[in-house]
Each structure stands twice: as C-alpha cells, then as structure tokens.
Amino acid sequence: MSAFAIETRKVTRELPGPVPVTLVRDIDFRVAPGEFVAVTGPSGSGKSSLLYLLGLLDRPSAGTVAIQGAETSNLSPDQAAALRLERLGFVFQFHFLLPEFTSQTNVEIPMRRLDRLDDRAIRRRATELLETLELGEHRHKRPDQLSGGQRQRVAIARALANDPPILLADEPTGNLDTHTAQIVFELFRDLAHRQNRSVVVVTHDTHLAELADRRVHLVDGVIVDD
C-alpha cells in the first residue's frame, strides 16, 4: 500500500469539444498523511479542476488518481460515491448547507448516509464536532441564522462527520473576512497536524497559503512550483 494519502500520476483533464480545453496537464502530485497542502494559482489555472479530480467528482482524461493506495480509474460511479462518503471530506467556497435543516442535522447527514453508527451515536458525534468548532450553542440554528464564518465551520464539521482521512477544500475562505479566513486556515492546519488528516486547500490567497506545510502553484493547468 502506498504511503501517500493521495497520489496522482500524469493526470490530464481535457474537456472534449470542437476546440478541446485542457484543464490540467500531466499532474504528478502526492500528499502524505497529516500533510497540509495549499494549491495556489491565478484564476483559470486549474486549481479547482485538480481538486475535483482528487475528490473523484471528475474523472481524468489520462493518468491515474490513487486514494490511500487504491487506484480509482476503474471505479463505477457508485463505488466512487462510496469512497467519497467514507474517506473524503469536501468544503467549498459556498457552504452548501441544506437550508431546511439545523446545523446539527446538516452535520448528521453524511453519518446517516454511511449508516455505521446508531442514531444516538450520530447525534453525539455531530454535537461533539460542532462543540469542537465552537458552534455548540448554534446547534439548533438553521444556516440562515448563522454568520458566514459560522456556516463555513458547520460545513467543515459536516466534512469531518465520517472521520475522513482526507479533507479537500475549494476556496473555503473566499466568502470570509480576513480574520475569519485566518481562523479557518488555522483550523485546517490543526486538522492535519493534530488529527493526522491530509488536507488540500485550493486558494488564491498567497498569504493564507503560507500557513500550509507545502504550497503547490499551478499556471495554465501545470504545476510550476512545488
């Protein structure tokens, strides 16, 4: 089994069409367990595309993506979904919390889908996660009753619900003020270092990227600096 949480080999993603568009090209990229990696680059450089490939939301046109040593190119859509559910946590620029549900329920959803814990254990874990992220008193509030930073922290709690070894974040601080963004980034660093998770964060903010262990810079779909 590979020592890397994520490993890509010569990954290329091309959008077919009369004029094919290459999103990323020949990406060789590895993330070790407990490593916090920031992916930077200008708009349209392929940062998010790379993240979606790592998160099995998209399939490479060429090359391979391995998650914890398991090669993923032959997985069916349902198998990829199962892998996402168990091993990957996503945080996006927009929180994507389900607006009808409370923070607590939003965090419970991935656990209920995975169906490994009983109802009481699911409730307890969701509460603990929210309390860890200092959202204990906001457990029963719906997303529209929370601030931007609070919503994003609920989204992080939801991404951690099934205790995934890998956390992927796409511009998670894009809608946050500088102070809150700093807090969120520090949280990611903690998750990597204290909980031994691999964290890959896409950001265009070079200042925040400096908080990561490693910085990968993309230009025109190619890694130019690692």
Q: How far is the CB of 78 from other proteins (least distance, A)?
A: 5
| 71 DSSP 8-state letter | E
CA distance linking residue 226 with residue 222, whole number of Å? 11
For the window 151-190, what string marks contact with other proteins as x by the rule CB under 8 A?
Answer: -------x-----------xx--x----------------
Which two three-digit tokens encode residue 17?
């069409």
Q: Is 77 in the site for other proteins (CB under 8 A)?
A: yes
**Cβ closer to other proteins: 53 or 209?**
53
Nearer to other proteins, 79 or 147 (CB): 79
Q: Work out the number of other CB atoms within 10 angstroms of the CB of residue 175.
A: 16
CB 47 within 8 A of CB 202: yes
Question: Applying CB under 8 A, which part among 30-38, 63-71, 111-119, 190-198 lies near other proteins?
Answer: 111-119
**Helix or strand run (H / E) with residue 129:** helix 119-132
Q: Is 92 in the site for other proteins (CB under 8 A)?
A: yes
Q: In angstroms, what is the minimal distance from the CB of 58 to other proteins?
A: 5
For 115-128, b/e burial (b = at least 16 CB within 10 A) is eebeeeebbebbbe
Q: Which structure tokens are listed for 132?
A: 């860890």
Using alpha carbons, select from 49, 47, 37, 87 the residue that is nearest to residue 66.
87
Answer for the pair 168, 200: CB distance below 8 angstroms, yes or no.
yes
Interface with other proteins by CB under 8 A: which range of 32-40, 114-122, 144-152, 179-187?
Answer: 114-122
Q: Which stretch binds other proteins (CB under 8 A): 98-106, 143-151, 181-189, 213-221?
A: 98-106
Under 8 Å between Cβ of 159 and 89: yes
Nearest CA among 153, 120, 121 for reference residue 139: 153
In the complex, the smallest distance separating the C-beta of residue 53 from other proteins, rounded to whole angstroms, is 10
Of the residues 98, 116, 124, 196, which one makes contact with other proteins according to CB under 8 A: 98
- Residue 87 or 214: the one with the smaller Cβ distance to other proteins is 87
Q: How far apart, in Å, are the Cα atoms of 116 and each of 108, 110, 121, 127?
A: 12, 10, 9, 17
Per rule CB under 8 A, is residue 224 in the interface with other proteins?
A: no
Of 48, 104, 173, 203, the residue at the interface with other proteins (CB under 8 A) is 48
210 near other proteins, judged by CB under 8 A: no
Question: Can you give the binding site for other proteins, defined by CB under 8 A?
Answer: 48, 52, 55, 57-58, 77-78, 81-86, 88, 90, 92-94, 96, 98-101, 108-110, 112-114, 119, 122, 158, 170-171, 174
